[in-house]
Structure 1
């Protein structure tokens, strides 16, 4: 099961089927995922010991219902076909990531795949065309194929895997440290080549989160301010980081329109994938996109899914065992790594419409599987149950919706 789902991860990120002529039209991804799913069905490693295992299928059902309530019954099957693989991959990958060894292996696969895409970007920047035949994008920004043909998506991947590369370096011997730190440097350079403002800001969030954990909030805030100024010198697009700038203004208007879509369809939204039917631009915000397209029901489920992932990692970091051992220290380092990956992932996703992106759910699966395994190793860690804590996400959803609306209104007024 685990090797098959790792192969699925490789094919999802590297995507040889998208540029090698011999693989064109071959359904590699569905075939590998199907085999992994069959292995999972007959495996004793299946687990459902986390709220995410209920929340994600419920979110899929909500996506389907959102199409039906907006007058397109056939859209329910489309959503099942489109998002169903992400749900299956989540269940299988989470079941495979319950041991420390498997989580480390999964991190290695993610980092190596991301480094390969960064190397493609370096060659693309030097010659104008990568080995996939993909040319440089607008403004000389690197891009890849398939789901990574947008430089912003590449930046999101690089930022999310950066903490993993640093973790792998810290636990390696001299040669390993050199190799993994070189990979981390290459990922940072890849972020620079994408020239993605969201990814650059996400790097600051990841670095700030680490410094906050190690040195405190004041040091993190001070160095973050210095880092923001430095990035404005490094990136021409960061110099345009203003709500009144044309691109930023269009995004803010999209956020505002998304809030009004929610207000006009508050229960199930305007339907999954229908945002651009009501606005020329997509939402450019994963939270606004879910809210507008699936309403309060979908947003509640999705926010809880995301929130539990963060909460689990924070629980490991806050856990104080009776006796500190090498294993518990490793647990904390792994939890910090996965927490920083989540911070980078969702910081970038805050400026992108990537609510349904498969990479998001693969990393969430790694987080969920890791916590299930951590509780098996450390039974004193808290158990999370929807039956006991679902109500917390109602005020959290309402509060975050209000914050999104106020933020969009303020930025829109500032831009005028």
Structure 2
């Protein structure tokens, strides 16, 4: 049960306001610091009342990443900028800690899914209304006269598409557990969200949904059969995808600009290999953003900061992979098997959204956005819950993988450089 003395009450309220942002367009609420008040309230209750488990490596990787972000700016000689980075990213860290430790049951995971699904459905209907009228009820206007937008951190159509894609699997999962009327409502919501993705006219989102379908095909049919099934599933995306998909080529203006930005990111890393050019300062050197979250991370944070950023990404992926692929314990009772199946179902849902988010992030400069770390927090939460239910469930720690993470960090940079060189040869 939720009540105002629980941190979870304020946490769900914070997530609702974070996404819908009524204080930015409802008369009488404009300018009120609703988000900071809700976040601080939730954090205070969490700090003194919430039982906590800090088993996952992300609990120290995320704050270390925040320090690395700050140092990347400090080592450029701008100490005040380093302090600003800490204050800007601190709310994300607070949210991460609260979600990862407070979402300690399947019921609470479902509540998070329900809140995010409801919020993203409202945003989707706003986008549909905006596409018809040219301006939404929030006052948000179309981008480039055709692409829907929203408010706050979703004011860019590509960012909006990324959020829609990451939450869509949650809506589809909820539909499986509702009665007929709510199931129909959920399917209608999923349809609205999918249509809103189309209205963002984001090419990256189409690729993200394709990657989600690929993962679905592999988990459902296996690798071999998915090769046959995937073209059938992917065909509607190609046929009905954004009009800009037809312009996707290495020498198209937008694509060429992205490739040049990726190349510049590698050059900035060579110039400042340890701590980078400073978090948020890529555009000061190139004039435009990196258009790739991986490039942005290693260019701005250097190899040290990028190592911890990528560690968060990879460890979270491995957690989901192990959760989804590991069957129930041998000799488990019917009840234990059912609960483990429910855990794996939630992990699959998060994995679909995570794949979609990472593919979107590959074409966007979204290395530090709140939705990515909210998703990682939910991954940590389901992982810790699984560990609490099954003592035999093996842990995934950064310590036993730090050597491979060094190799993977260097390899990903070299791979990005090689990809850039190949693409530049065709422009």
- 2:384 aligned with 1:372, yes or no? yes
* 3-state SS in 2 of match to 1:50: coil
* 3-state SS in 2 of match to 1:42: helix
Partner residue, 1:284: 291
* 1:361, distance to aligned residue in structure 2 (A): 1.0
Checking the alignment, whether the CA contact within 8 Å between 2:101 and 2:381 is kept in structure 1 is yes
Partner residue, 1:154: 160
- Counterpart mapping for 1:109-124 below 5 A: 109-124=115-130
Partner residue, 1:12: 18
CA pair 302-100 structure 1, distance change in 2 beyond 3 A? same
Partner residue, 1:204: 210
* 3-state SS in 2 of match to 1:138: coil
Partner residue, 1:28: 34
* 3-state SS in 2 of match to 1:40: helix
* 1:346, distance to aligned residue in structure 2 (A): 0.9
Q: Distance in 2 between matches of 1:309 and 1:11?
A: 26
CA pair 229-327 structure 1, distance change in 2 beyond 3 A? closer
Partner residue, 1:414: 426
Partner residue, 1:362: 374
Q: Distance in 1 between matches of 2:301 and 2:403?
A: 19
- 2:82 aligned with 1:76, yes or no? yes
Checking the alignment, whether the CA contact within 8 Å between 2:298 and 2:305 is kept in structure 1 is yes
Checking the alignment, whether the CA contact within 8 Å between 1:232 and 1:239 is kept in structure 2 is no
CA pair 256-225 structure 1, distance change in 2 beyond 3 A? farther
Q: Distance in 2 between matches of 1:388 and 1:220?
A: 33
Give the stretch that moved more between structures: 332-341 or 320-329.
Answer: 320-329
Checking the alignment, whether the CA contact within 8 Å between 2:50 and 2:102 is kept in structure 1 is no
Partner residue, 2:91: 85
Partner residue, 1:265: 272
Q: Please, which runs of 5 or more residues in structure 1 have no aligned partner? A: none
- Counterpart mapping for 1:104-183 below 5 A: 104-183=110-189
1:231 aligned to which of 237, 241, 253: 237
CA-based RMSD: 1.4
Partner residue, 1:65: 71
- 2:248 aligned with 1:251, yes or no? no
Q: Distance in 2 between matches of 1:369 and 1:264?
A: 39
* 1:244, distance to aligned residue in structure 2 (A): 0.9
CA pair 401-242 structure 1, distance change in 2 beyond 3 A? same
- 2:315 aligned with 1:303, yes or no? no
1:334-356 per-position Cα deviation (integer Å, ceiling 9, x unaligned): 11111111001111111000111
Name the count of aligned residue pairs.
Answer: 415
Partner residue, 2:248: 241
Checking the alignment, whether the CA contact within 8 Å between 1:231 and 1:238 is kept in structure 2 is no
Give the stretch that moved more between structures: 11-20 or 147-156.
Answer: 11-20
Checking the alignment, whether the CA contact within 8 Å between 1:315 and 1:381 is kept in structure 2 is no
* 1:47, distance to aligned residue in structure 2 (A): 2.1
Q: Please, which runs of 5 or more residues in structure 2 have no aligned partner? A: 1-6
* 3-state SS in 2 of match to 1:291: helix
Partner residue, 1:337: 349
* 3-state SS in 1 of match to 2:425: helix
**Scaled by the length of structure 1, what TM-score is found?**
0.97
- 2:415 aligned with 1:403, yes or no? yes
* 1:45, distance to aligned residue in structure 2 (A): 2.0
* 3-state SS in 1 of match to 2:83: helix
* 1:226, distance to aligned residue in structure 2 (A): 5.0
Checking the alignment, whether the CA contact within 8 Å between 1:60 and 1:83 is kept in structure 2 is yes
Partner residue, 1:188: 194
* 1:260, distance to aligned residue in structure 2 (A): 0.9
* 1:392, distance to aligned residue in structure 2 (A): 2.3
Checking the alignment, whether the CA contact within 8 Å between 1:244 and 1:414 is kept in structure 2 is yes
* 3-state SS in 1 of match to 2:426: helix
- 2:355 aligned with 1:349, yes or no? no
Partner residue, 2:102: 96
Q: Distance in 2 between matches of 1:197 and 1:379?
A: 43
Q: Distance in 1 between matches of 2:234 and 2:326?
A: 33
* 3-state SS in 1 of match to 2:49: coil
Q: Distance in 1 between matches of 2:393 and 2:132?
A: 50
Q: Distance in 1 between matches of 2:305 and 2:358?
A: 18
Q: Distance in 1 between matches of 2:392 and 2:348?
A: 18
Partner residue, 2:340: 328
* 1:229, distance to aligned residue in structure 2 (A): 5.2
Give the stretch that moved more between structures: 121-130 or 20-29.
Answer: 20-29
* 3-state SS in 1 of match to 2:130: helix
- Counterpart mapping for 1:216-227 below 5 A: 216-225=222-231
Q: Distance in 2 between matches of 1:214 and 1:233?
A: 24
* 3-state SS in 2 of match to 1:60: helix
1:316-345 per-position Cα deviation (integer Å, ceiling 9, x unaligned): 122232136211111111111111110011
Q: Distance in 2 between matches of 1:161 and 1:204?
A: 15
